[in-house]
Structure 1
């Protein structure tokens, strides 16, 4: 496997991309991401269930994993002890410092500032990539997926979570709004501008992401639907344990209908 060092690629042609990275970094430098998850125990544990299921599908090798958009290190306990080396990538240095607190084995950790579209690693540096809660900011998923494919070895795995624009609640809402119906039928991402910070949040069509993965040399091995029951009424009247039991049971069956607001892909880079 390749040694860890910057790839040396010049990114002058990606100035717009770099501006987006800078905005995202500035936003998360001041954002309390840990506080965000308070009151979201169900969504957090639904993610943990999905990632744990998919990690178990990756038998070997377990040499080097990269967590793209690591944030506060929420997923670190799920894989840190299983891989020989871990790379933590985030556009925000502040979030990287917070992620350090989640790391129990610092001797095998590498922290890097960057984003999915421009990963400062050589080709074939990792055998596994994990990317959760990060594609909200990716407006060119083809480019990001190509970059992830570049840093994976042939046969390497990608666990990718995307915010789903055609989840069940969105489809119901589309019945009452011509604009929303048009958004649902299009495979283009749906954007929402957060004016206070001048950042666009994007939701993606799972079919468009599936096509992008396949076009970049990935084979999709498994798909899961997560946070399927995150409606405030469900969380208020149904005990957390029951919600998580249903979540664990239905993540795979509901994926076939793109039901939940988060869709997880387990994809493997084809061997040449």
Structure 2
């Protein structure tokens, strides 16, 4: 089993810059989330594994209710409080299997690039079900081992795919864990997501190593990967935005 990543070690220093999204991309995600959310407003939202809070303020603006950003990393929460403050957002210490909210408190729960960090998925499913309102929805934006999007960076870091196949769960594994608490898939959609304005920007973001997959690689293969990337950039023109198809799994009771 691969080691667990501690975001207090390094990731908190680079995550906000390496994973920053322009306003129009955030707005596109909000529209997609709203399409699957309960229709009433306001909604209370749980941003589970909220990290540096890159979606939490937008969730508050979109759904009109309080947003609780629950994050186990102390330093990621500190960054969120500094750069993603919002009057309707509270950043709380907690984890997927220990959510500091009362039962039936949330109408919508978002896990954005979080599910693969959860060690005990059945326990987390039970806790998410506990805090979810009876007609609530769970939105899981993640890569899944059985639905690899073949991202561009695998060209230079080929072992990333092997790591991801070990790290990421399958859709069936996630569905089975939540089925034990009577939450079942009601949609699985693919959203086209712009990662960077061009390859040079994409390469600059990669150099920050804001993906936890880098933390499972050796320094030698990282160095070799960036050398291959530089060689590729030197011979290939920057051909516009770098985009990727991203999966969103929606669960409901």
**Bucket of the pairwise TM-score, normalised by the shorter protein:** 0.5 to 0.7
Per-residue Cα deviation, 1:207-241 (whole angstroms, up to 9, x for no partner)? 221233333212322212346787998x775422x
Asked if residue 216 in structure 1 is aligned to residue 185 in structure 2, the reply is: no
Once the two structures are TM-superposed, the CA of residue 74 in structure 1 deviates from its matched residue by 1.0
- Rate the CA distance shift 1:136–1:208 in 2: closer, same or farther, 3 A: closer
What is residue 263 of structure 1 aligned with on the other side? Answer: 247
Q: Which runs of 4+ in 1 moved over 4 A?
A: 44-48, 226-233
Contact 1:90 1:115 in 2 (8 A): yes
Once the two structures are TM-superposed, the CA of residue 28 in structure 1 deviates from its matched residue by 5.7
3-state SS, counterpart of residue 169 of structure 1: coil
- Rate the CA distance shift 1:155–1:208 in 2: closer, same or farther, 3 A: same
2:28 to 42, 49, 58: 49
1:79 to 56, 59, 62: 59
Once the two structures are TM-superposed, the CA of residue 140 in structure 1 deviates from its matched residue by 2.5
Q: How many residues align?
A: 204
1:120 to 97, 100, 107: 100
What is residue 146 of structure 1 aligned with on the other side? Answer: 126
Structure 1, unaligned runs of 5 or more: 1-18, 174-179, 184-188, 192-201, 248-259
What is residue 104 of structure 1 aligned with on the other side? Answer: 86
What is residue 257 of structure 1 aligned with on the other side? Answer: none
When normalised by structure 1's length, the TM-score is 0.61
Q: Which moved more, 1:112-121 or 1:28-37?
A: 28-37
3-state SS, counterpart of residue 267 of structure 1: strand
Contact 1:90 1:113 in 2 (8 A): yes
- Rate the CA distance shift 1:91–1:227 in 2: closer, same or farther, 3 A: farther
Asked if residue 26 in structure 1 is aligned to residue 1 in structure 2, the reply is: no
Once the two structures are TM-superposed, the CA of residue 103 in structure 1 deviates from its matched residue by 2.7
Once the two structures are TM-superposed, the CA of residue 54 in structure 1 deviates from its matched residue by 2.1
RMSD value, Cα:
3.6
Contact 1:162 1:204 in 2 (8 A): no
When normalised by structure 2's length, the TM-score is 0.65
2:143 to 148, 163, 187: 163
